Structures are given as C-alpha cells and as structure tokens.
Structure 1
C-alpha cells in the first residue's frame, strides 16, 4: 500500500507560480524518508533540497502542477489549491494503478476542504484523508512533497530571472523583488508572472490598468 503527501510552495509569492506537489511512497519505505534527511523544506538550504529531490524521485512517485498569478488574482486561492490537489491525486492514482492502492493521504492544510472529500469518493478512494496545519513538519511524506514543490518553484524562478530579469526571492517581503516589480510597472508593462492582487501594489492600480501584456509567458520557454 502507498501513502501520499501534498504541499505547496509560493503561496505568498509576489512573482511566479504557486507550485503544488504530491509525493507517494510505499508505506513500508516511509522510514527511509527521515533516514535520508527529509524534513520541512523551509528548514533546508536550496542545495540540500536539490540533493533530497534527486533521492526522492528515485524512491517514490510524484506530480507537480502550477497555479499562475493570473488565476490567483481572479479566484479564491483555497478553491484553486483544492482543485489542483484533486488533479494531482488523479495523476498519482493513475500511476499507482488506481486509488485502492493508496492507504492514506496527508495534506498540509490550506483552507477548508469543500469539494475534495467528495471528489475522492467519486474517484473510488476509500482510504484515510488527514488534513492538518503544519503537516509538513509532522509527516515525512508531506515534507517530501514540500521539498519537491519548492525545488520546482526555485527552478522556474531561475527561468524567470533569465527571461525578465527578476530579482530577489519573488516574495513581497523581499525589497529587491518589490523594487523590480515597481521598475516593471514604471516601464508600462504588465507581466503575467506578477500577482497584482497583492496589497504591496496598492496605489499602482491606475497605472496597471493602462499597461500591456507581453506575448510570451513562462510556458513558452519550458521544454
């Protein structure tokens, strides 16, 4: 039997996609996660996350999906994450030859789940569903998902740095990131990689409404 963990990276970002990941491992192999050093991705350096990522993809099954800023600006982020979680679990179930191969699903709580339990039942899942705050620090399988989500987000942010010259971590608490976003707005651009609903950008809306969108997005450069 398998267990699955789900977590995300970039929920509070100003620049770049929110990445949500699912990681599955056979329950008999779960102790191996702690043995190789898996823990909450926020406690690890980028180098450590990259090393663990290389190990995780050898011993488990994973899937990752993005939620771009445009969607977050127009819909409730909790509902978006819930839908992506459902999509991820469909992918994982297919790779494991069906939902009955899964014993339990652990999710780092991101809001009240309104639809996911029903969707799982419709898919034929009959195992446990554990949704808890700070699950990434309680369950190694969720920590593994958090590492995968963070590694993929970091790599995609590297691409954005090459494409658009993004500076900093991509978060609104980072002065370098905020400075870069303001420079972009002052140049009259509205890039699809920026989350415009953030309060950080209050006072710039009149300007933002006038700016144009670039023709290319991150997906055009991902091969």
Structure 2
C-alpha cells in the first residue's frame, strides 16, 4: 500500500505527540530536518511533519491517526466549492460543489484529502477515482469550450468579467446543494476569488442557521480541498476526451498549431495566445 498523507492542525499534532508518549510507541531518528518525529513500532510507521503526517497505510497506523482526528461538532454539513481550468487556455471550466457531514470529513481525511496543490498529479487522479465512488451530495457545473465561449461572450456583452462568470458558477453549485440537504446548522466555504461578486450571486440565499464564508487558502477546509481534487480530475478527463476526439495533445500543443476552425471547440477564445490565431 502506498504511503498516506493526512493534514493535521497544530492541536492534532500535539494530541498525536501525547498519544505516542502515552502508548510508549518506539521513536527512531528522523531522516531529514523537516521531520518533527518518526515512529517505527511493529506495523506502525508514522512520520510527523509540520501540518501533516505520513503513514504506511497499515491498520495499526490508521488506528493511531483515527485516535487524534477531531470531529466537527457544530455543523451538520460543511459545503465547499472550487474550480479547475480557469488558468488553462484549453479545455473546460469545471466548478465542483460538495456537501460533507462530520463523519464524511473524517473519512476523507483518512483517505488523504488535503490541499490539492500538495498532491502530485497522478496521486491526485488516483485519489479522485476513489472519492467519486463515495456517496455524498455533489453538484457539478461544467462549461465545455463551446459553452464556455458563448457564456463568456454573454457576460462580456453585459459589461461583466470572468470573475462574474465564476461567481455565477460557484453560486449555482452551492444553491443546488442547499436544495438537496437538510440541516440544523451548516457552513459554506468558498475559496475566495472575488468577495463582492460572489456575495452578490448568493445574496438571495436564506442564511437561517447557515454561515457562508469566502476564505483565502480555502483548501485548508476539507470540503473545499475535496471539491478541488474532483474538479481537477474532471478537467483532466475532459481534456483527454478532447484529445481523443480531435487527435491532438492540448497539454503539449500551442494554439498556433491547431486549425482555427477547431480552436473554438477546444480552447477558451479570450486567452491572448488563442485570440491571435483565430
């Protein structure tokens, strides 16, 4: 089994240290300066870093991690949304929204869900394949290139920007999720990109027992991290489909090397490197 990395906050790391001491688990010398401590005791193999632990995936190691993971006590659901494809000239724009219960948050953490930027691409794709098989409320807004270009032009004609379109997509996913779940208390977390535009799109949402947060570095919240991982997975799959359909490799090809009549079907036309080749 490959190693599993689990993000921990400071209090959980301190709790882990106390647990290791209480259980008299055998410590060995750290191998790098970045390791806070290293445990090697029978089938238990755990390395503690600042902000995360990496373990060998054994049942015994997992039991140690389970003992110190804190469970959400306030909210019935924590919703999160994030996007993929915004910065690439090719492929779709993907916005994913998810709604997680406290138990599902723990399960996602056990599986290694964390900030997607800290996960290697192939590892992220493998993790996402497992995550999409889990049962939890999800909403996907996907704008394939043709639809994206049409929608972008529509917003542009109204004097609006890409951030307006992003705010529309995020709010659409979140509103659909809120219709699907029942809760006493819930929280929505959005990876912050434009507070005013997003707040405007969510202004008609009933906030009774509902907290909506736009947060810089939103992937510190597991719901946002999960949404990001799935969004990137879907984006990569959609790019693979375009590559197969048009017999090109968008990840390695320049817009100049693609027939102008095909560009609107595979590319975001407002990107400068695309626009000059239309």
TM-score by length of 1: 0.75
- Equivalent in the alignment of 1:177: 253
Residue 95 (str. 1) matches residue 169 (str. 2): no
User: 2-side partners of 1:125 and 1:51: how far apart?
Assistant: 38
User: 2-side partners of 1:164 and 1:62: how far apart?
Assistant: 30
User: 2-side partners of 1:189 and 1:117: how far apart?
Assistant: 36
CA distance 1:153–1:193, shift in 2 (3 Å): same
User: 1-side partners of 2:93 and 2:248: how far apart?
Assistant: 16
- Equivalent in the alignment of 1:119: 204
User: 1-side partners of 2:92 and 2:235: how far apart?
Assistant: 7
User: 2-side partners of 1:190 and 1:5: how far apart?
Assistant: 32
Question: In 2, are the aligned partners of 1:4 and 1:25 still within 8 Å (CA)?
Answer: yes
User: 1-side partners of 2:153 and 2:88: how far apart?
Assistant: 12
Residue 8 (str. 1) matches residue 78 (str. 2): no
- Equivalent in the alignment of 1:215: none
- Equivalent in the alignment of 1:139: 221
Gaps of 5+ in 2: 1-75, 156-160
Question: In 1, are the aligned partners of 2:243 and 2:250 still within 8 Å (CA)?
Answer: no
Aligned residues: 191
Larger radius of gyration: 2
CA distance 1:125–1:193, shift in 2 (3 Å): farther
User: 2-side partners of 1:132 and 1:194: how far apart?
Assistant: 30
User: 2-side partners of 1:147 and 1:50: how far apart?
Assistant: 8
1:188-220 Cα offsets, whole Å, 9 max, x none, are 54432211211223543xxx2xxxxxxxxxxxx
